[in-house]
Amino acid sequence: MFTVKPWSSAEVVHEALAIGLFEGKDSWSGLAGEYDSRLGGQLSNLRKEGDISAKRGRIATIHTMLPTGVKRLYFVGFGKKEELTFERLREVFGKLFRTWKQAKRTEAAIALDTFTTETVDPNEAAHALAEAYYLATYEFPGYKQKKSEPDYALESLTVYTAADAAEIEASLFVGSVYGKATNSARTLVNTPGNLLTASDLADYAVELAKRYDFDYEILEKEEMERLGMGALLAVNQGSKQPPKLIVLKYQGKEQWENVIGLVGKGVTFDTGGYCLKPRDSMIDMKTDMGGAAAVLGAMEAIGELRPEQNVLAVIPATDNMISAEAFKPDDVITSLSGKTIEVRNTDAEGRLILADAITYAKQHGARYLIDVATLTGGVIVALGTDKTGAMTNNEALFEQLLEASMETGEFIWRLPITEKDRERVRSSKIADLNNSPGREGHAIMGGAFIGEFAEDTPWVHLDIAGTATTKKDGDLGPAGATGVMVRTLTAFVERFE
């Protein structure tokens, strides 16, 4: 879809050409200036009158009426030069692609070098461009018999730049991978629970494994019983759908060492179990496998980019249902680790299935652990819907993840786990642990509980209950699933040391 070329105005014939504009006079001197003189100064007039503006987020469509060449110029404002960041550029590009999508443009070009500064080089701009294209034009297909709009995609985007074409192509590829993998996660999360059971999730993972040549294993219920995964089995007890433990193995190093374990909560629907959710809170609980989707999205990106790392992905998958056989409050269960758990709340199911998955990951070589989960409503109260809650037992590992998240613009914020918190999750009178020691510090209790299973292995817990979905359409994607943490996990794995 992308073609990278040096600029040569003789050949430039396009339906649309995007030019970036900074605030201040000098930005008018380059390409914009060239078109301005070809159009007899019309563009500077339009700029004076405010039709063309360099303010961030402003996009002006100018029909050139030129007999040949470019039919439409899109002037894209991005504010002050010194304020441009990778993140802002992604947003600006997102808006541009939404504009093109609305206008049904299928052929277009972009003057990439007008979107760069000393701080954002052409390669970063190319990454931002490709990523923004896939994120901004994403749509969940849905199930309507008649679609109101046909699927949109650009057929051709010419990227003009003076930079090295091979390098720019490589950056466009990386950006595309980040964008597409995020969209794959979005689609998984947007898919309703009846159409994405644990078995469906496992089938999806197996396809992914085959496509990227990962070793894989799907643990069935009988195997879980044999191993003693009492926590995952307890959550599944009320369901007609069998549970699956999905395991993918990517080996990018000679030896199976320094393995990064990525563990994602895969609750395909959370009714709350016998601690049943009220009807309004149950809506959207199809998204309770957002952690699993983030891990699978990251594995897709890893399969494409093939970094020199070892990654073990472990996804416990089940729904949380009620029936005569379902687990109940007061039940005591034995986890794979041997630790016993008193179930105080069947709606605190995520930490139970993650407990067994984390133990399994450790038993299979994971030396570092990141778990991702739509774990608690509490994290939404604490941090809102634009910040992922993070908890850890290891500063150095957390720092690396934080750095990755700052690169991708997916905000994470740390919550503490103290000795007192650990005491609270150990507060059961009859078992080693209590899965729900009370409302105070909800999100922290979830993290602290999972931490009991990570033990001494460096570990970060990411609570994405607030960030996995959004109610608003944005420049980088519509309302619904966000695919959050796909990009951060990928960036983290790529740079991990």
> Residues interacting with Zn ion, by CB under 5 A?
267, 270, 288, 350
Binding partner selected for residue 266 from ligand BES, Mn ion, Zn ion, none, CB under the kind-specific 5 to 8 Å limit: none
Does the annotation list 5 as a binding residue?
A: no
124 near Mn ion, judged by CB under 5 A: no
What's the closest the beta carbon of residue 180 comes to ligand BES, in angstroms?
25
Residue among 95 and 461 whose Cβ is closer to Zn ion: 461
Residue 59 · residue 75 · CB < 8 Å? yes
Angle between helices 290-305 and 165-190 (to 10 degrees): 160
What's the closest the beta carbon of residue 359 comes to Mn ion, in angstroms?
20
Does the annotation list 240 as a binding residue?
A: no
What's the closest the beta carbon of residue 345 comes to ligand BES, in angstroms?
4
Spacing of C-alpha 108 from chain mean position: 27
Phi, psi of 33 (to 5 degrees): -60, -40
DSSP one-letter code for 474 = B
Does the annotation list 456 as a binding residue?
A: no
Does the annotation list 270 as a binding residue?
A: yes
Residue among 150 and 278 whose Cβ is closer to ligand BES: 278
* Residue ranges with strand state E in 265-309: 266-270
Binding partner selected for residue 421 from ligand BES, Zn ion, Mn ion, none, CB under the kind-specific 5 to 8 Å limit: none
Phi, psi of 230 (to 5 degrees): -65, -25
Residue among 272 and 389 whose Cβ is closer to ligand BES: 272
Phi, psi of 171 (to 5 degrees): -65, -40
Residue among 101 and 442 whose Cβ is closer to ligand BES: 442
Binding partner selected for residue 127 from Zn ion, ligand BES, Mn ion, none, CB under the kind-specific 5 to 8 Å limit: none
Helices (H) and strands (E) in the chain — how many of each?
16, 20
**Alpha helix (H) residue ranges in 191-287:** 198-212, 221-227, 230-236, 279-282
347 near Mn ion, judged by CB under 5 A: yes
Q: Which residues are known to be catalytic?
A: 277, 351
Residue among 235 and 404 whose Cβ is closer to ligand BES: 235
Spacing of C-alpha 53 from chain mean position: 32
In 3D, which of 462, 455, 169 has the Cα closest to residue 295? Answer: 462
Does the annotation list 101 as a binding residue?
A: no
Give the integer Cα–Cα distance in Å for 448 and 458.
14
What's the closest the beta carbon of residue 481 comes to ligand BES, in angstroms?
12
Give the integer Cα–Cα distance in Å for 298 and 491.
9
**Alpha helix (H) residue ranges in 371-472:** 378-383, 395-408, 419-425, 442-454
Interacting residue ranges for ligand BES, rule: CB under 6 A: 270, 272, 288, 345, 347-350, 374-378, 436, 442, 465
Residue 484 · residue 372 · CB < 8 Å? no
What's the closest the beta carbon of residue 446 comes to ligand BES, in angstroms?
7
Binding partner selected for residue 378 from Mn ion, Zn ion, ligand BES, none, CB under the kind-specific 5 to 8 Å limit: ligand BES
Binding span for Mn ion by CB under 5 A among 160-168, 266-274, 382-390, 411-419: 266-274
Binding partner selected for residue 436 from ligand BES, Zn ion, Mn ion, none, CB under the kind-specific 5 to 8 Å limit: ligand BES
* Percent helix, strand and coil across the chain, each to the nearest 5: 40, 20, 40
What's the closest the beta carbon of residue 393 comes to Zn ion, in angstroms?
23
Per the annotation, binding residues for Mn(2+) are 265, 270, 288, 347, 349
Per the annotation, binding residues are 265, 270, 288, 347, 349
Residues near Mn ion (CB under 5 A) are: 270, 347, 349
